[in-house]
Amino acid sequence: MDFLITEGQLKFLLESEKNSKLTSDMKELHSFTVNLVNKVRKKFELNFKFLVTWGTAIGGLVVPLDDYIRQGELSLSDDSIALVLVGVACTYFYQNKKELKKILDKIEEHGLTELFEKALSEAEVLRKEFTVFLSGLNLTLGATVEMIHYAFIIPIINDLIRLSHGDAGAWETSEIIVERLLASGVVLISGQVLIDVINKIVKRLRRF
């Protein structure tokens, strides 16, 4: 049996398929952080489970660093890379100096200090560029430490560029994107605040 759908229905289905990728992307970022935390706990007996709370944002920051490390350090084990990445995550997402010292000591013990410093330097470049990007939107997100909580946006910028050039209005597009992000269940930013952020991003990207 053949089923006929209108052009509008086809467009809706295609857009839904595109946007559902945002949902899966958020889940993947969160899972990436969970896996890092579990590796560090099992291999190095360090419990940083609290990082899972901001797992999606942390994933947005450290996934690019994972690629950066693997391109230059082919001989490193997954456990060593996980230790370095969790160290970077703790630096930005945890203010407890005592707990941070634990992982820095472990990084030094395993001869990974130089790599950690390189990764941290790369993370700082990424953080500054992202902060400048958000600042250019005239958002009122508070301190820089709060801005980093939006890091889950970093890996989906290309998706946002594509979606921002769709036929729907900026606000409508933003609502659809936010709906998909929140559908992942791992984004902690409130819906209304996130709509405002995404709407300003979409409006800016439509200029290019």
Give per-residue pLDDT as tens, 10-31.
Answer: 454 445 545 578 899 999 999 9
Return the domain boundaries, the chain: 7-205
Residue 15 half-sphere exposure, CB side, CA atoms within 13 Å? 20
Sole residue written with tokens 């990007």: 133
Task: Encode 194-206: b = buried (16+ Cβ within 10 Å), e = exposed.
Answer: bbbbbbbbbeebe
The pair of three-digit structure tokens given for residue 88, joined into one six-digit string: 């970077």
179-204 tens-digit pLDDT: 889 989 999 888 888 998 899 998 88
Q: What is the pTM of this model?
A: 0.84
Per-residue pLDDT tens digits for 41-84: 999 999 999 999 999 999 999 999 999 999 987 789 999 999 99
